[in-house]
Amino acid sequence: MSPENTSDPKNAALSMTERFGAREADGIVRCDACPVLCRIRPGKSGACGRYSNSEGELTRTDPLVLVQKTLEDGDTMIPFNDGASEWDGNLIRNETFVTAIGSGTTYPDYKPAPFIVSTDYKGLDTVTVVSEGIFSYCGVKIKIDTDKHLGHETSAVYCKGERVGHVTTGEYGSQMLSLGGVNHLTGGSKKEGRITCETLLALCNRGAVELTIDGGSSVIVEAGKAPIIDGVKEQRMRVGCGSATIGIFAQQWHGHVDDVIVVDEHITGVLSEHQAGKCLNIPPSGIKVNGRRSTPGRYFNVANPGLGWGGTDIVDPLSIIKDIDQNVARPGQTLLLTTTTGEESSFFTLNNDYQLVQTEMPAEISKVVNRIGENCEPSLCSVIFIGGAGGSLRAGVTENPVKLTRSVKQSLTRVSMGGSPVYIWPGGGITIMVDVTRMPTNSFGYVPTPAIVAPIEFTLPKDLYQELGGHMDYIVSLGSVMEQFGEDARKDNWIPANPWPLEKQ
Ligand code: SF4
């Protein structure tokens, strides 16, 4: 690492009060870290609780979070030496990543980001620009693994009586919600904005939140945990739609049952009519189901959506049967009705009056129904934070923000949040998505504007940073960050499922 990396960086000599605010009369400090500009009395905290006045000094209440790799068997131990600091004997310090969690925010944005850290990583002079971004344009997408019908698409979603989002397009085996966004944060009443912000904050920090869907269910959502729908903990994510379930298990049913109907709100499958049944030479059973036939053995709209069998409102499975053709059906033939999770299933035999009578399920059939269950993954809630970092936040990184956007789009600058990988949307701006369970705990904060505070880091080669118009005078070495903040910092183990944020991807 070249010595100029650490030569008298402009931020280094400044106290936190000087960097993020100002001292006023009577021991009051002003916090400049967001547009609220709190005037904080001694011993008190600002409106967001993130800054306090400790003996006349502005103090960040949460520690800076460092993510560290621990050495594993076979790792080479390289003594840390940044060329400016004394080696303290710590063998893994260059395997430390300074996240933006607890780093603070500079406002207005033209001020350089709180930390611009240089690291010599694998022989490359690397710069990471670290800041807690204030996201007025942000929200969460929630994936709830369930075949239950939670509410109609576009239905409003409420939390504590306030509208905070809506039901969006369902995905394969999951219901989807879209919460937050600038319209709920800023476009409604003050209370709507506040509750929306609280809801997003709790969800992003992996708290449990109860949501109510207009005309639908109530669901408790917690990232990485099973949803609780109308008081019942969901267990399984469906193996596929009804047609896919037929396709997967047709061969295993063949020879043990005459027909199978897999009840599903979206696509109900009928084995004897389905292509899978045709390929196995399964003869027609004469049993017809309700709904609209899409293609052979695949039916839409067999019932109304609901919390019954397969996400329909069916409680009695036989209510799905429209007709039994006595010219085709034969007494004694058997029928399995199941759902796509195998959680509901019944076995029937056709009697001499051409009525289906529930009979004991043969062991061979139970085995396949159980296998449906085995193939279902556990039902989980996934919370994905989405935010736009394409605005003024970029000025804290470089004097010419569009160059940063371009370098991110060209994958020359890596973006991470709390050291975790993000997905960057194509098109204009820097619109990012991150799985909150891959981030350190309590990564998120808020300010009462209202907006969500989220960590964001930009990592790029130092020469590129200079080319982009970066704040070169504010670069500090990793060593000096460790010396100044290392003792009080929270040190989290790196999550091995994440790529190391300094590694070229
Ligand atoms: S709300 Fe928080 S960040 Fe904003 S000025 Fe007040 S203390 Fe500072």
Please list the residues that pair with 323 across neighbouring strands.
288
> 48 C-alpha vs ligand 1 centroid, how far in Å?
6
CB within 8 A of 229, min separation 6: which ones? Answer: 146, 148, 150, 217, 218, 219, 307
State the average pLDDT for the chain. 90
At 272 the pLDDT is 97
At 312 the pLDDT is 93
The closest of 333, 329, 328, 319 to 263, measured between CA atoms, is 319
Mean pLDDT, to the nearest integer, of 156-166? 98
Q: Please indicate whether residue 446 or residue 70 has the higher confidence score (pLDDT).
A: 446
Return phi, psi of residue 404, to 5°.
-65, -45
At 486 the pLDDT is 86
- Can you give the pTM of this predicted structure? 0.88
Q: Which residue has the tokens 């030479």?
A: 281
> 358 C-alpha vs ligand 1 centroid, how far in Å?
66
Residues 304-342 have pLDDT tens digits of 998 899 999 999 999 999 999 999 999 999 999 999 999
Do the beta carbons of residue 28 and residue 53 sit within 8 Å? yes
Closest residue to atom 4 of ligand 1, CA basis: 34
Closest residue to atom 2 of ligand 1, CA basis: 48
Pocket residue to mutate for ligand 1, from 16, 17, 29, 48, most atoms within 8 A of Cβ: 48
Give CA–CA dist 27/17, Å, rounded: 12
The Cα-based distances of 432 to 28, 34, 135, 136 in angstroms read 37, 21, 11, 14
pLDDT at 391 exceeding the cut of 80: no
DSSP state of 91: T
* CA 469-471-473 angle, 5° bins: 130
> 130 C-alpha vs ligand 1 centroid, how far in Å?
18
Pocket residue to mutate for ligand 1, from 19, 31, 57, most atoms within 8 A of Cβ: 31
Mean pLDDT, to the nearest integer, of 209-232? 97
Give CA–CA dist 186/285, Å, rounded: 59
> 38 C-alpha vs ligand 1 centroid, how far in Å?
5
Signed CA dihedral, 472, 476, 478, 481: sign only: negative
pLDDT at 80 exceeding the cut of 80: no
CB within 8 A of 296, min separation 6: which ones? Answer: 273, 274, 275, 278
Q: Which residues line ligand 1 (CB under 6 A)?
A: 31, 33-34, 36-38, 46-48, 50-51, 447-448
Mean pLDDT, to the nearest integer, of 86-94? 48
At 2 the pLDDT is 33
At 422 the pLDDT is 96
Mean pLDDT, to the nearest integer, of 4-18? 59
Q: Which of 23-27, 296-300, 325-329 has the lowest mean pLDDT?
A: 23-27
At 232 the pLDDT is 95
At 89 the pLDDT is 47
Give CA–CA dist 62/418, Å, rounded: 14
The closest of 487, 486, 481, 482 to 9, measured between CA atoms, is 481
